[in-house]
Each structure stands twice: as C-alpha cells, then as structure tokens.
Amino acid sequence: MGKSDLEEAFAGWIRILKMPVPIREHRFHAARKWRFDFAWPEFMVAVEIEGGVWMQGGHNRGRGYIEDCEKYNFAAAEKWTVYRFADAKLIINGDAARWLKERFPKRAA
C-alpha cells in the first residue's frame, strides 16, 4: 500500500513540529483489516488523509463512502478520536498538523 504525497507531507510536518511519532497504516480491526493513515494508539487518536476529493476517488463514491462511514463509526464506538484532513493546501503548508498539535492530548506534549 503506497503512501500518498499528502500523507508524506503530513508526516514531514509531524516531525518538524516534534509531535509524538505515529504508527503509519495502523490496523485497528483485525477482521475488517481497517487501517488509519496515522495513529497514536496510546492516546486513541488517529488521522485520515482524505485524497481524491475533487477527482471522485474510490472513497468518495457510493460503496467506498459507505464503507468509510462504517469504519469511522466503529472507531468512534471504540473510543477513537479520528481527525480527517482533505484540503491539500492545509496539509502541505502544515496548518493541518499545527491544528492537530493544538488539540493533541496534553500528556503527549
């Protein structure tokens, strides 16, 4: 599973901002093989980088969208906080990572 340019940009900002190191492609449901793009399991915080928004990618059409809803609902029921970022400009310029850092659990600071 390849990592998108947006995911790589976000990962770079996580390092620059000296945030705790996330697990990439963290599998949080064994049977469904659901993964988060970035996860901090000790804090139950995850990030999904939503690509393909303007080109009708697989996650933005019928079946993919429904499956993502199921994934995010399961995560919420399991007490995960999932942040979703879709604006490429905010990911690339670091605003998404800075926003996350401001809201990250205080014990991680």
Position 108 scores a pLDDT of 52
The span from the CA of 25 to the CA of 36, in Å, is 5
User: Which residues form the domain of 68?
Assistant: 5-104
Question: What value does the mean pLDDT of the chain take?
Answer: 86
**75 C-beta neighbours (distance < 10 Å), count:** 20
| More confident: 58 or 103 | 103
Reported as a single tens digit per residue, the pLDDT across 74-95 is 999 999 999 999 888 999 999 9
Query: Global pTM?
Result: 0.83
pLDDT digits (tens, 9 = 90+) for 42-55: 999 999 998 655 45
Tokens 């609902």 correspond to 73
Q: How many domains does the chain have?
A: 1
* Residue 72 in domain: yes
User: Please, which pLDDT band fits residue 33 given cuts at 50, 70 and 90?
Assistant: confident
* Residue 82 within any structural domain of the chain: yes
**Is residue 9 assigned to a domain?**
yes
- Mean pLDDT lowest for which of 2-11, 12-21, 48-57? 48-57
Domain for residue 109, yes or no? no
Domain presence at residue 79: yes
Q: CATH no. for residue 15?
A: 3.40.960.10
Within a domain: residue 53? yes
pLDDT recorded at residue 1 = 34
